[in-house]
Chain A
């Protein structure tokens, strides 16, 4: 797998695979993704970088059957929202792949190689059962 993440501010790719980069606000106790200097939910600026959990549960799921503008990867593909493990709740938009997926399906994080914005291979994230 190419080591180049599709956006280095959003995910890291190393020997452990793919890691989603997040932020955590001490005052709000809330996690967010991708990391921002300010908590997007409260405006607090006491943000520490955190690696987000690699496991979660599918909340909502659909399938994209027509390539949207700017996307040159394969179709159809799964798209949905995963509730990451840990408290408090954090829901993340993600590609979803492989097998029978629905609300409540337990999933884990993987990398997926796609053409990046420049057409060269880049790694994005996907949750698999």
Chain B
């Protein structure tokens, strides 16, 4: 794709913040990104806001608070990939020549507990056929039965991400956990325990995109949806057919993003991927080409996916540490990776990182993969 650069990033920490509004968190993140880029709210030509629960014109409320209106403002919903979708649209608006500098941000303020959405019909909720953790658990059951991975491997993912999250002051959970604690935490939907599931929460993230010049290069980005047929897809259908030959949306998006960047999985130095639950991260490793299906156990055993390993995954601590504010989570990954590529990630820095990949997947289904190059 043409030369799109990230010249500023900003974050409002992820967590729970009482009466603080999503708009107020968005203002914090956007102001920080604008300051890094050395510009004001009046210096962007368009704004793209990812949010799933922010309500009507959520992005406009943030720009209004910054006296930055008058420009086109797009509010973008794509489930867990909302921020990725906003970033893709923002990048495309520069690549097409429409704009030279745009603001992309994501905001979310979500209640505790199992996520409710208008996605399911009322009868399906009443019948008990809508609980997201159960669908995560069924995907996890399939992963374990297909690959020989065990609950211990799921626990190792949580231990890794929570340990890495200790070094991230913007995360919700900054305390390490042991595998024993993960396995002994409350069973939610077998095989997934409470500590294996991320928490829906609150937060905001923002990036400034510009045509060419200095900054981290946005080398590839693709948003894809599901192909029909898999009953285990994030589109949560009530039925499916034999799905052996159905390519998952994360793989579709990864292929696109690698092709745009002229790179492949072997070129990636650091990854932020969707760890809604521990199994989701292991599925992503294979879907993104970081390992062959079933190769996850070897990566875990060798410490390859840890900071200091061959291909560190979720140095920020991932959603398991940060929590998941749906509209902000994808851009939170990008903020983390920009800092990694700048070499300013502090105690969680991946040494010498030059190429980074961000990945989100969720309701819709929507998957977004972004490749960044220093």
Contacts and interface: CB of A to CB of B under 8 A. Distances in A.
B211 to A, nearest CB: 39
Given A63-B189, A64-B134, A90-B241, A7 B128 contact: no
Contact of A114 (B120, B121, B128, B141): B128
Given A60-B141, A79-B134, A80-B138, A88 B241 contact: yes
Interface of A: 6-7, 10, 30, 32-34, 40-42, 60-73, 77, 79-81, 88-93, 95, 103, 114-117, 122, 124
Nearest to B125: A70
A77 B239 contact: no
B20 interface: no
B364 to A, nearest CB: 15
B322 to A, nearest CB: 22
Given A6-B123, A62-B141, A91-B231, A68 B128 contact: yes
Contacts of A90: 239-241
Interface of B: 113-116, 120-123, 125-134, 137-138, 141-142, 145, 187-191, 228-229, 231-232, 237-242
Chain A to chain B: the 10 pairs with minimum beta-carbon distance, closest first: A70-B125, A68-B131, A69-B116, A117-B122, A62-B137, A7-B123, A124-B127, A33-B239, A91-B231, A62-B189
A30 B128 CA distance: 26
Contact of B126 (A32, A40, A88, A115): A115
19 contacts: A7-B123, A10-B123, A41-B229, A60-B141, A62-B189, A66-B188, A69-B125, A70-B116, A71-B131, A79-B134, A79-B138, A81-B138, A93-B129, A93-B237, A103-B141, A116-B123, A116-B126, A122-B126, A124-B129
B130 A71 contact: yes
Contacts of B121: 7
A64 B123 contact: no
Contacts of A89: 241-242
Given A68-B116, A89-B242, A124-B129, 13 more contacts: A7-B121, A40-B237, A41-B229, A41-B241, A62-B191, A65-B189, A66-B133, A68-B132, A68-B134, A69-B113, A70-B116, A91-B231, A93-B237
Nearest to B137: A62
A36 B131 CA distance: 23
Interface centre among A60, A62, A64, A90 (most CB of B within 10 A): A62
Contacts, number: 131
Contacts of B114: 66, 68-69
Nearest to B145: A103
Contacts of B232: 60, 81
Nearest to B186: A65
A79 B131 contact: yes
